[in-house]
Amino acid sequence: AHGYYYSRWNKCIHSTRDFSDMVYIDNYIFNKDVFIQFNSTVGEYVGYTELGVFNARRFNNDPNLLQQERAEVETYCKHNAEIRQAAIADKT
């Protein structure tokens, strides 16, 4: 009960059938507060605390990491959304 809480979650958000508005969000959370976030519409990490700003600067200086995160819209979000949409459409 008196420990620390850390989690990381990501999500894909879209509202169109063609996924043209797909957004990928990757959150780093400490004690229930987001301290750093990657948002594909921004295209880089944003820090919300002192530690988050420090890490965002470090992460944003890594071109390989940024390339990987930016690609998640296509490789993770759209890929999985297409599979789910096909599964739903096949049942209608």
Please give the pLDDT value at position 89: 76
Per-residue DSSP letter, 3: S
Of residues 33, 34, 59, 37, the one with CA closest to residue 46:
37
- Domain map (residue ranges) of the chain: 6-89
pLDDT of residue 63: 97
Instruction: Give the model's pLDDT for residue 22.
Output: 95
Over residues 31-90, the pLDDT tens digits come to 999 999 999 999 999 999 999 999 999 999 999 999 999 999 999 999 999 888 888 877
Per CATH, is 6-89 categorized as 3.10.320.10?
Answer: yes
Query: Is the sign of the CA dihedral 26, 31, 33, 35 positive or negative?
Result: negative
Q: Which amino acid is located at 90 in the chain? A: D
Q: The tokens 């169109």 sit on which residue? A: 16
Confidence band for 17, pLDDT divided at 50, 70 and 90: confident
